Amino acid sequence: MENVLPKLQELITVYGLKLIAALAIFIIGRWLAKVVKNLVEKIMTKKSVEPTIVSFTCNLIYTTIVVFVVIAAISKLGVQTTSFVAVLGAAGLAIGLALQGSLANFAAGFLLIIFRPFKAGDLVEAAGMTGTVSEISIFTTIMKTPDNKVIIIPNSSVMGSTITNYSAMPTRRVDLTIGVGYDDDLKKVRQVLDDLISKDNRILKDPAPMVAVAELADSSVNFTVRMWVKTADYWGVYFDTTEAVKLRFDEEGISIPYPQQDVHMYQHQEQ
């Protein structure tokens, strides 16, 4: 018994200090992880980052720091952590290779939310698809087509393609090409088009609309009509103006020719 007590005191002295140091590392490290997590969360929230990305990123940072803190605390107790770190690294590599597609989508989703080439509610064309963005999630972008179909696109495909955002600017230009016959009075045609434009209050005065002869085509003289409108009025003005031009041309006797060919037949007489 007399020999046990000194050894016990020695173990307590040696390992007790290591245990206290390990607990101190764990407690301070965990506190530091929370501080870093809260700081990142505040910065990302201030930047109006998507809440899902904020939560995922903060939890990932917190978990990573805690893992390193635990390894440091175990190492302080005298436990060899080299093999443990190697196994953890190998497992991480295997998981990364298995989920490389998902990780690419996550990274692309993160970039979409950070750089904001579009937001929910925008009409965009991306990855060969056109629709209104419903949601930007961690791995996918969800769009709704004009005929009410739901399209789910991997974020990596969106970031890897050309993105056209039709809703990014407050105004858009409506371009129409209108053909009239060679026998029609071009001054009258211009007057009719100017009159139609002036009567539509949705067409902006600045920038001013433009009506110009653009091409002397094979079967028609083509006018280019360019009108600036609010983005929300684009399709309404496009369709209404196209219909109004046809109806007004019919009233004014202005022709809208269609492609045609003159065929000349020659009769060959045998001698």
Q: Where residue 19 sits, what CATH number does that domain have?
A: 1.10.287.1260
Burial 101-123 (b: 16+ CB within 10 A, else e): eeebbbebbbebbeebebbeebb
Our count of domains for the chain comes to: 3
Query: Of the candidates 108, 140, 165, which is a domain's last residue?
Result: 165
Residue 159 lies in a domain: yes
Give the residue numbers spanning the domain of 56.
Answer: 7-98
Chain centroid offset of residue 147 CA: 20
Low-confidence ranges of the chain (pLDDT < 50): none
Q: Are residues 123 and 181 in the same domain?
A: no
**8 Å CB contact between 210 and 219:** no
Residue 23 lies in a domain: yes
Q: Where do the DSSP E strands lie in the chain?
A: 123-126, 129-136, 140-144, 150-154, 164-165, 171-180, 210-216, 221-230
Q: Are residues 151 and 126 in the same domain?
A: yes
- Predicted confidence at residue 65, as pLDDT, reads 86
- Predicted confidence at residue 26, as pLDDT, reads 84
Distance between CA 31 and CA 200 in Å, rounded? 64
Neighbours of 129 (CB within 10 A): 17
Give the tens place of pLDDT for each residue, 76-113.
766 665 666 666 666 665 655 555 667 788 888 878 87
Query: Of the candidates 126, 145, 165, which is a domain's last residue?
Result: 165
Q: Are residues 55 and 125 in the same domain?
A: no
Q: Are residues 131 and 62 in the same domain?
A: no
Q: Where residue 128 sits, what CATH number does that domain have?
A: 2.30.30.60
Taking the model in full, what pTM does it have? 0.64
Sheet arrangement for strand 129-136: 150-154, 140-144, 129-136, 123-126, 164-165
